[in-house]
Amino acid sequence: MSFPNIFIGAILLLVQLLAALPWLSVALTSGHTVYESLRALFGGISGTGRVIATRLGAVVLALVVLPVVGLTLAPDREPLEIMGRFYGAVLQLQLTLDLFVVGFMVLLRVWPKGGAVALAAFREGVRQPMYWLLVSAALALMTVSLFIPYFTFGEDHIMYKELGFDAIMFTAVAFGALAASMFVSDEIEGRTALTLLSKPVSRREFLLGKYFGILLAALLMFGFLGCYFEGAMLYKGFLDRVDPTPRAEWIGNVLSRTPAGPAADFVTGVCLWTQHTLETLPGLVLSFSQVMVLVAIAVTLATRVPMVVNLTTVLVVFFLAHLTPVLVAIGRQAKTENPGAVSQLLGFVSQLFDVLLPDLESFRISPTLLTDNSLPTGAFVSYLGSVTLYGVLYTGIVLLFGLILFEDRDLA
């Protein structure tokens, strides 16, 4: 193997190791200070040292030994491209974990009390068996859906893509609604919130901290399921004999600066996975914006109503919000064709729903995002930003209403 190929491989390996440092530092020092962990690693505490050494050895095996063995045993172009995609998937998962490690560090520094509540809610949510049960159900659904024929005349992968986005969104919404009832409503009813609020933590910090903790746990779910979904879409394209990621122009520019050989094939796989991730990201952003709004509604309702009522209300809001544009169109048509009391009532109710309920249809994945059609970058970014901003503003209004309800709630 030539020196340029070895040099590129060393750089890629260094990137993986640097990406592993934030989450690895948390994994190794969990329950111990950095000094205690290092002392344990080098023989101070034999039992803990063995555990830490095992974790570190597993990471080194995954990030160092396996790629080297793979490059040695798979000199052909296609296996190297597949390994490059796998490298990109591992790097994506590591960057996802790093986002939470760094994010909570910043949050605790900027907002200490609320950040502590958010971190506690995040940890409690991730540790719940319900969390991993929902993740497993979503993984099973996306896996089984790979082999279901959709009879779309060569466009089964498009149908699968839409079902995948909806599966991830529904899973996160279900977790958010359940967690809101467990972490807010149950703590209020069980007087646990009163104990926490007796400390220097305000009601605003309590409610907003719970919301952000639940939302970040749902975001972590999006990260795991999104990465699996991207790999599943690649496999679906293989089954349907369709290339889901035709090469973009920037990939050609990168490969033109890469010396020919095994490293170029490996870098091609990394670039293709990166492009695939960037194409999937807008759909995940729109889906998560919908989750953000619905979780805010669930947290607000949890300040006053029990779990069953909360889940039912969120479900009703979800369906009515998606049906509202249809109801508005029917109401306008009825006013034009058959003016009368019934038409006026239908128009009033549809307009009321349109004003009060969130416009969840704006978060739907458009057919353009599901296909391989390209959009003007400026218009696309403007649409994505405006829809996300709408979700943030609506979430803020809902949480403000929740704070008003929570301020008047008797906790004694």
pLDDT in tens, 220-230: 999 999 999 99
Using only C-alpha atoms, the chain has a radius of gyration, in whole angstroms, of 25
Rounded distance between C-alpha atoms, residue 409 and residue 412, angstroms: 9
C-alpha distance from residue 40 to each of 26, 44, 50, 51, 326 (Å): 15, 5, 8, 9, 64
Instruction: Give the per-residue pLDDT at 157.
Output: 80
Q: Are 83 and 33 members of one domain?
A: no
Residue 31 domain-assigned? yes
Domain count, the chain: 2
Same domain, 56 and 181: no
- 110 shares a domain with 31: no
Residues 147 and 184 in one domain: yes
CA distance 290 to 175: 14
User: Which of residues 46, 73, 100 is at a domain's end?
Assistant: 73
At residue 368, the pLDDT reads: 55
Look at residue 72 in the predicted model and tell me its pLDDT: 47
User: Are 46 and 104 in a shared domain?
Assistant: no
| Shared-domain flag, residues 212 and 257 | yes
Residue 320: inside a domain, yes or no? Answer: yes
Q: pLDDT value at position 34?
A: 41
Among residues 269, 274, 273, 261, the alpha carbon closest in space to that of 6 is found at: 261
- Determine, yes or no, domain membership for 135: yes
Residue 286 is predicted with a pLDDT of 92
Do residue 362 and residue 398 come from a single domain? yes
Q: Tokens in use for 52?
A: 């830490």
- List of the chain residues with pLDDT < 70: 1-2, 28-77, 191, 194, 198, 243-246, 366-376, 412
Of 73, 102, 131, which residue constitutes the final position of a domain? Answer: 73
| pLDDT attached to residue 75 | 47
Position 41 in a domain: yes
What's this model's pTM, rounded to 2 decimal places? Answer: 0.86
pLDDT given for residue 118 in this prediction: 95
Shared-domain flag, residues 81 and 68: no
Note the pLDDT of residue 255. Answer: 81
pLDDT of 71 reads 47
Task: Tell me whether residue 412 is in a domain.
Answer: no
Can you read off the two tokens belonging to residue 15? 């990137």
Same domain, 42 and 141: no
For residues 412 and 189, give the distance between their C-alpha atoms in angstroms, rounded to a whole number: 9
Its domain, for residue 186, covers 74-407
pLDDT score recorded for residue 179: 95
327 and 388 share one domain: yes
Which of 38, 73, 108 is the endpoint of a domain? Answer: 73
388 is a domain residue: yes
Supply the pLDDT for residue 42: 39
Does 133 share its domain with 280?
A: yes
